[in-house]
Amino acid sequence: MASRQELSDFLESVQRRAFKQAVYAVRDDDTALDVVQDAMFKLAEKYPDKPPAELPLLFQRILQNVIHDHFRRQKVRNLWTTLLSALRPNDDEGGAEGDPLEALEVEDDVRTGESAAQTVERDQILRLIDTEVQKLPPRQREAFVMRYWHEMDVAETAIAMGCSEGSVKTHCSRATHTLAAALRAKGITP
Half-sphere exposure at residue 169, Cβ-oriented, CA atoms within 13 angstroms: 5
Half-sphere exposure of 106 (CA within 13 A, CB side): 4
pLDDT one-digit tens code per residue, 119-158 = 788 778 778 878 888 899 999 999 988 888 777 889 989 9
Residue 14: partners with Cβ closer than 8 Å, 6 or more residues away: 56, 59, 150
B/e letters for 131-154, b = 16+ CB within 10 Å, e = fewer, are ebbeebeebbbbbbbbbeebebeb
Of the listed ranges 31-35, 105-109, 180-184, the one predicted with least confidence: 105-109
Question: Domains along the chain?
Answer: 4-84 (1.10.1740), 115-185 (1.10.10.10)
Asked whether residue 89 carries a pLDDT value surpassing 60, the answer given is no
Q: What is the pLDDT of residue 83?
A: 53
Q: pLDDT (tens digit, 9 = 90+) per residue, 39-62?
A: 999 999 999 889 999 999 999 999
> What's the pLDDT at 14?
93
